[in-house]
Structure formats: structure tokens, C-alpha cells
Amino acid sequence: MEAIIQSVNGFRLTMPEVIASTIILSFFVILWCRYKWNRRYFDKLAASLKGPPAYPIIGSALQFIGTPQKLMDSILKIIKDYSPGPFKIWLGPYLGIVIVKPEDVQIVLNSSKALQKDRFYKFIKNIFGEGLLTAPVDKWRIHRRLITPSFNSSLLSEFFPVFHEKNKILIKNLKSELNKTQSFDLWDYIAPTTLSLICQNAMGYNLDNQSQCGSEFEKAMIRASELDSLRVVKPWLYPNIMFSLYLKLKGDSNVFNNLYKLPLKMIREKKEAFEQKKIEKELSVIIDDTNKEKKHSKVFLDKLFELNEAGANFSDDDFRDEVVTMMIGGSETSAITLCFCLLLLAIYPDIQDKVYDEICDVLGDGDQTITIVDSYKLVYLDQVLMETLRLFPVLPILLRELQDDVKIDNIVLPKGSTCYICPLATHRDSLSYPNPNSFDPENFAPENIAKRHKYSFLGFSGGPRGCIGSKYAMLSMKVLVSTFLGNFSVHTDYTFDDIKLKLDLLLRSANGYPVTIRTRTRKSMKK
């Protein structure tokens, strides 16, 4: 019996202690073996793929330490080193497979097994809650089906009066920058305009007299994006308690509350108006339809209220989440694309002149406002916007968690793994685009589009969970750019290589969008 009693460095263990230690050690060995067994498919796949260095617990997180600009630099370097893939990235203990080839992208985005957003999307629920962008599949299916009719193509023409009103305000505000030698940042003018547009068109809420609320929302959105994106690449911030402590240390405890002030204000006021209309309708006397004025289609927020009346059972959080998602998706993304587009046109004056000539051909001379029919004739402008989205996709990475095995490119992606679909890499693949790092709107000439795989362009994502408002976005951007260039020429000292990128949740210019503007005299041309 005494032979079993152990002595280690002068310490003696009794028999019960030896038994307890053996049980505990065996328990951890069993847990480790179970862990490795459950991960055997991940480890087998990872062993067959190239990718950046990874370490226990933190994975490849060291690759992404630094400022948002350094983060973007790291992503671009990894894309350059390992494309066209597929290749692996470990974020913490989670395996991600980066998908670049259009053929593979199509399979994943259209697979019913890849509709679930990745676990990392829970980190941005501080911003979006469970709106269409982040909702789990079952909730997304219901909300998408209910909300989709709000973006019917036949309704797009009804947005034009608001486009004209808000763009007229934009032009008036921009005149303060006319003929100055010092550059200004396009963002300061474009972002408030796109936010005002989506608030009016989707919520029926006029933001013109609430500029302070809009400014607070915009600042909170940018800061919230920076904080949540940091969390994604820093495993030590994964636990909620650690993230909350980090917010307090940085003085950002109220940033998400500030973000919700404007959306909640809109919902509250519009709900009161909706309830009042219901009462008035119940009390009103039925009159002959022939005496009624032509009705306009209801805005997105009114339709949510109506759906709820009909039994959709949206909670208060559901209203907030869908409104915030709509506000950010309908304003922030468009503002970024518009700023990049106008900056590129300033860098390439020959292309700017070609866009302007097309605008003159379509709209003629004078102050004629653009119609929806006119917008469809602005073909080259459409190419310019698409090329802008190719070079600078607002969402450069999309994450999908596989609910079952998916086969691509002769490999099987196992259930539970994450697909990182990377539009930034797909858009800069030389097999699809001969000069992938050059600004060339001819990439989207019809004959060139016909030569490429459909999924070589992911400016609005793709598949069932693609952007619900892509047609609205393109239309609103074409109206704004055509109005802008009809009034001003845009100039810059920047070159294409001077554009440095940064990544929070969205892709942005690290140094803003510096330009100057000059008075434009519209050419006299017949329509």
C-alpha cells in the first residue's frame, strides 16, 4: 500500500489524493479526446488548405491587430498571398474557409445549407439586433417574405419627388464650397443626404429639421461599427462581460443607446400618427371614390405597422431592428459608394466628362429634373457605379455558417465551419477582370458582362439573402450623381494609389474623400 503513495518534490500524496488526481486528469483527457474527435473533419480540411499562421486559442488573430487601416492592409495582403483559394483562416478556435472563385461563391450563396449567418454576427447585434441582416434563418424567412413587397419595382417611381427635394438641398449646401482651393470631404455632405433620403422614403420621416439627431446617429453608427469590428478579431473581447468592460474603459458605454435615439423617435412618432389615422378612418364617413385624390403607396414603416395589425406579431425590438437595418443599409452603404464614385471621377476627369456628356444627352439643357425613364437611359453612369462597387465593395467579407456539408471545388466543407465569401478578392481576380486594380467602367459594358461568371460581381451580395434594396440603391445613386455633375465639376489632387482603405463593419476610405468643386455650365443639347 505504501508503494502506491507518491512523493513528488518532497510532497506526499495519500491514496485518496492519488485517486482524485487520477480521476480529474482522466476527465480532462476524455474532454480533450472528445474535443479533437468532434473537430476531426475541421482539422483534416485545415491540414489540406493553405492559410496564414495560426496559434492555439487565438488562431490567426495576431494578423489582425492594429488600426482599421492596418486591418484592411492585412486582409489585402492575405488575399494577395492565398487567392484564388479556397484557403483557411482560424479566428480563435473557429475554422473559416475563404471562398473567392465565382463558381464556388455561387454554390455557397445559393445553398439552403448556407443561409445561416456566422456566429460572429452576434457581435454586431448591438447595432442591428435581429433585423434582416443578422436574423437567424427561421426568423429571416418570415420577415423577408413580409417585407419584400415594400421594395416592389413598380413603386420606385414614387421615390422621385423625395430624390429631387433632398438633392436640391444638397446642391444648395454644396455651393458654400464652390471655387475654393482647399479641398473638403464629400462625406460631410453626402452622408446626411442619403440618411435624409432613406428616412423620408422608407419611414415617411422628414429629417431636415432634425439635423442634430441625424448627426448623432451618424457619429454613433461609425463608432459602433469600429467597436464591433474590433471585437470580431480580438478573441479576448468575445465574452460580453469583457466587451462591456472595454466600452467603459474607452468611454463608449452609451454609444449604442445614442445609435437608437433617432430610430426609436421615428417609430414612436410614426406609430402615434398611424394610430391617429386608424381612429380617423373609423370615424370618417364613406365617400365616393371618384372624389378621392390619388393615393400613394405606404412607406416601409407604415407597412410594418399594418403587417402587425394583420397578425405579423412584430415585437418592439423587431420594429427597432428592422428600422435600424433599413436606415444603415439604405444610407450608409449608398453614402460610401457615392463618395468613392465622385472621388474616382475627380481622379479620372476623362471618365467624368463622358458621364457628364451622357447626362446632357439624356436630360438636355436647363434645369430639367430626372425621371425614372431618364435614369434607365444613363447606361454609362450605371457602369461607373458598378465599377465603383467592384473596386470598393461596401461589404468586403460575408460570413456564412454551414448547417450541413457543402461540396465545392472537389473539397467538402464540413457542417459547422464558416465560409468567408470575399467580394473584395472575387472582384480583383484577374481571370474575371483583365486589369483588376484599375478603374475601368468598360468592365461593365454589356459585352464584357456576358463574358464573365454571374457571381464574379457581388456588389449586393447574392442568393436568397442578397440585398433587398439593390434597385432602390442604384436608382438613388444615379439620381444623386447625375444631379451633382449637372451642377458641378469635381476635382482632386488625389491619385488612385493615394486611396487607402480601412475596415470597420464596412469598407471606407481611411483619409476621407477630399475634392474641390467648380461651377458647371450645362451643355446645350437636345434631349
Rounded to 10 degrees, the C-alpha dihedral 450/454/456/458 comes to 130
Q: Is 422 annotated as a binding residue?
A: no
Three-state SS sequence of 264-290? HHHHHHHHHHHHHHHHHHHHCCCCCHH
Cβ contact 393:459 at 8 Å: yes
Look at the alpha carbons of 309, 315, 318, 324 in this order and tell me if their dihedral is positive or negative. Answer: positive
Q: How far, in Å, CA of 253 to CA of 245, rounded?
A: 9
Q: Which amino acid is at 420?
A: Y
Cell numbers found for residue 511: 483619409
CA 68 remoteness from chain centre: 16
Helices 300-307 and 255-283: angle between axes, nearest 10 degrees: 70
Nearest to 485 by CA among 392, 380, 386: 380
Nearest to 327 by CA among 170, 196, 467, 188: 196
For residue 393, count other CB atoms closer than 10 A to its CB. Answer: 27
The pairing of beta strand 418-421 with beta strand 94-99: parallel
Q: Which helix H or strand E contains 411, and what residues bound it?
A: strand 411-413
Q: How far, in Å, CA of 203 to CA of 320, rounded?
A: 12
321 — phi, psi (to 5°)? -65, -45
Nearest to 469 by CA among 349, 287, 348, 332: 332
Q: Which helix H or strand E contains 380, and what residues bound it?
A: helix 379-391
- Close Cβ partners of 381 (under 8 Å, ≥ 6 residues apart): 355, 358, 359, 478, 481, 482
Nearest to 265 by CA among 319, 191, 312: 319
Cell numbers found for residue 180: 475654393
Look at the alpha carbons of 174, 179, 180, 181 in this order and tell me if their dihedral is positive or negative. Answer: positive
Residues making up the annotated binding site are 467
Residues making up the annotated binding site for heme are 467
